[in-house]
Amino acid sequence: MYIGIDLGGTNVGFGIVDEDNKFLFKDSIPTRKSLNYEEVCDDIIELIKKAVKALNKDLNCVKGVGIGVPGIVNPSNGMVIECVNLKWKNIPVRQYLEERLNVPVSIGNDATVAGVAEFAVGAMKGYNSGVLLTLGTGIGAGIIIDGKVYDGAHGIGSEIGHVIVGENFFDCNCGRNGCLETFCSSTGIIKYAQKLIEEGNKTSMEEEIQGDLNKINGKLIFDAAKNGDKIANEVVSRMVKYLAIGIVNTVAILDPEVIVIGGGLSAAGEFLLNKIIKEAKERVYFNGAPIGDIVLSKIGNDGGIIGAANLCRLNKK
Amino acid sequence: MYIGIDLGGTNVGFGIVDEDNKFLFKDSIPTRKSLNYEEVCDDIIELIKKAVKALNKDLNCVKGVGIGVPGIVNPSNGMVIECVNLKWKNIPVRQYLEERLNVPVSIGNDATVAGVAEFAVGAMKGYNSGVLLTLGTGIGAGIIIDGKVYDGAHGIGSEIGHVIVGENFFDCNCGRNGCLETFCSSTGIIKYAQKLIEEGNKTSMEEEIQGDLNKINGKLIFDAAKNGDKIANEVVSRMVKYLAIGIVNTVAILDPEVIVIGGGLSAAGEFLLNKIIKEAKERVYFNGAPIGDIVLSKIGNDGGIIGAANLCRLNKK
């Protein structure tokens, strides 16, 4: 059996799954983030021990523990380099847990973990290689090559949200201009919608927000676009254009079997997916070149736990 | 021993190397490209048999034959999909040779083969993963991951020359706009130099070309830039800017241990390399993130043969 931990800023999602990724145990505890890292980790250790006991097993039955962290991690040495939510910097999470549990521990960032979940039980299942793009506040990515997690020589690969695809009217958090996530994350499309409204364009979205531009969100934009609003559709078209460039750039380097669209904005469903497929196929080089499947995410709320539990099985390539 | 064949439009380079990539035999014959593919392949077969005999060996001693082709190939099924120089389309080269030689045959495009040569005996030697960018008439790329050739699920990966990095004033041969090779190949920089001269900018290059813009070439531009010519330096700066974007985009996805700069333009040497390193380090995301080494190619004229001979050893990932 494998243990998956979805370490969030508010809650720690926890689960034990069997070889077939069926849940044997599931729980969640609050993240006591005011404590130091040792105490947060001790909470996790206690939870693991309790759960294993509840199943009438012992720690020897646990083949691996995986942890997904919303931040920058180094999977090679198991350090959390930075996790803003938990105010962690250079924390040796793997070492701390392995010394106390005597079980192999793997660690990955949340986008990698989501990619692993897609591969284990979701939209990448049955494929050998694939890329997950999570369209949320930013854009995360998880890369699977030959059934293993790929994140590069220094752990800074698999950051497709920071592929430069054009010039944008505002800079990225990373300090540069033109990153994919400034065009295609919810932050990116909200800023562009706000810009168009500020420039005096009329849109049905204005009724919803009653003059408060801060009320614009991804769902509002996509709902308006689906209802035929011209400005909302302009925002979506721009997003899709740059996302297609990001996808064909990924194809030009990695040529994966499948590209999975996940994250909050993927709730726009087929409406968004069909536009992405059309635009990516039009933009791939040498018209007609084969391009991997482009599909919607299939992992649900437990994806963070299942992905983490499978991290240790998909050893880093 | 391994056999490497560098199939060019004019000559077929041929060599037999031992386990340590030392040449045991080397030869070259003209490519009789007016013939059909069977006869070109028969020429190669005869050459192989003669060479093996000259070494007092037989074909059983040959562990593999590798062929580099200047065109689009499918390494999985050993087909040459298109080779403009030889007027080949959908040619089953591997099958034809394997049936007649009874030796494993591998096939790769010339950029992949050059990448393999860098890995076996050149600037990637000692690294586990790396990317070669050949800056020539176009931009080719060879990707090595975990000591194996990587070219994606449909053989259309590893085309970093077709990563879109901006908007250019002319379209790419692939039918799109903004591909890396339109900014950073010799074709790309020649067109930009011609444009600047046509716009009336004064440059020392004009004396060399005596009014004939077709005489501009990569060497002329770099020589003028090294001598302080303002326009030539503007051309080089633009090339380096977009090459750095191409490199940091590759890093954001692949994060290789090393990036090797090869191809004709790499003859500009440290003058070019130092500018690339400076600009790539400035443009990498999250200022100060680790980035792989950036170095010049180290394979010489025999690179095509040695790379081909090593193709069969670095089985496709």
Rounded Cα–Cα distance for residues A63 and A105 (Å) = 9
Q: Do A252 and B285 touch (CB under 8 A)?
A: no
In chain B, which residues have their Cβ closer than 8 Å to the Cβ of A154? 255, 289-292
3-state secondary structure (DSSP) of residue B314: coil
pLDDT exceeds 90 at position B257: yes
Q: How many CA atoms lie within 13 A of B170 on its CB side?
A: 14
> Residue B75: what pLDDT?
86
Structure tokens at B18: 């031992």
Nearest to B152 among A159, A160, A254 (CB): A254
Structure tokens at A97: 């847990």
Residue of A nearest to B127 (CA): A153
> Residue A34: what pLDDT?
74
Q: Do B157 and A292 touch (CB under 8 A)?
A: no
- Measured CA distances, B24 to A177, B17, B51, B306 (Å): 53, 5, 9, 12
Residue B288 pLDDT level (bands cut at 50, 70, 90): low
Q: Do A252 and B156 touch (CB under 8 A)?
A: yes
Give me the amino acid identity at A73: V
- Determine the angle formed by the axes of helices B93-101 and B37-54, rounding to 10 degrees: 40
Q: Do B165 and A167 touch (CB under 8 A)?
A: no
Q: Which of B239, B29, B71, B244 is nearest to B155 (CA)?
A: B71
Phi/psi class of residue B141: alpha, beta or left (left: φ > 0; alpha: ψ in -120 to 50)?
beta
Mean pLDDT value across chain A: 93
In chain B, which residues have their Cβ closer than 8 Å to the Cβ of A249? 163-164, 249
In chain B, which residues have their Cβ closer than 8 Å to the Cβ of A291? 154, 156
Q: Do A167 and B162 touch (CB under 8 A)?
A: no
Report all structural domains of chain A as residue ranges with CATH numbers, in order of start. 2-119+301-311 (3.30.420.40), 126-296 (3.30.420.40)
Residue B315 pLDDT level (bands cut at 50, 70, 90): low
pLDDT in tens, B23-37: 999 999 999 877 789
Residue of A nearest to B143 (CA): A253
Q: Do B253 and A159 touch (CB under 8 A)?
A: yes
pLDDT exceeds 70 at position B4: yes
Rounded Cα–Cα distance for residues A39 and A77 (Å) = 21
Which of residues A222 and A301 earns the better pLDDT score?
A222
In chain B, which residues have their Cβ closer than 8 Å to the Cβ of A151? 255
In chain B, which residues have their Cβ closer than 8 Å to the Cβ of A128? 153
pLDDT in tens, B155-208: 778 899 999 999 999 999 888 999 999 999 999 999 999 999 999 999 999 999
Phi/psi class of residue B30: alpha, beta or left (left: φ > 0; alpha: ψ in -120 to 50)?
beta
Residue of A nearest to B246 (CA): A164
Reduced DSSP (H G I as helix, E B as strand, rest coil) percent helix, strand, coil of chain A, to 5 = 40, 20, 35
| ipTM of the complex as predicted | 0.91
Give the closest-approach CA distance of A145 to chain B in angstroms.
Answer: 9
pLDDT in tens, B116-143: 999 999 999 999 999 999 999 999 999 9
pLDDT exceeds 50 at position B280: yes
> Residue B116: what pLDDT?
97
> Residue A288: what pLDDT?
67
Distant-in-sequence, close-in-space partners of B19: CB < 8 Å, separation ≥ 6: B1
> Residue A32: what pLDDT?
86
Tokens 């060399």 belong to which residue?
B208
Q: Do B163 and A257 touch (CB under 8 A)?
A: no
Residue of B nearest to A285 (CA): B174
> Residue A315: what pLDDT?
64
Tokens 């041969």 belong to which residue?
B173
Residue A92 pLDDT level (bands cut at 50, 70, 90): very high
Q: Do B152 and A287 touch (CB under 8 A)?
A: no
- CA quadruple A145, A148, A153, A157: dihedral, nearest 10: 60
Rounded Cα–Cα distance for residues A280 and A294 (Å) = 9
Structure tokens at B276: 């690339």
Q: Which of B77, B63, B144 is nearest to B111 (CA)?
A: B144
pLDDT exceeds 90 at position A183: yes
pLDDT in tens, A286-317: 766 789 999 999 998 899 999 999 998 886 43
> Residue B199: what pLDDT?
97
What is the enclosing helix (H) or strand (E) of A308? helix A303-311
Q: Under a CB-based contact definition with an 8 Å cutoff, are residues A116 and A135 in contact? A: no
Mean pLDDT value across chain B: 93
Rounded Cα–Cα distance for residues B307 and B298 (Å) = 12
Q: Do A253 and B292 touch (CB under 8 A)?
A: no
Rounded Cα–Cα distance for residues A155 and B255 (Å) = 7
Which of residues B72 and B305 earns the better pLDDT score?
B305
> Residue B316: what pLDDT?
44
> Residue B317: what pLDDT?
38
Give me the amino acid identity at A253: I
Give the closest-approach CA distance of A302 to chain B in angstroms.
Answer: 27
In chain A, which residues have their Cβ closer than 8 Å to the Cβ of B163? 249, 252-253
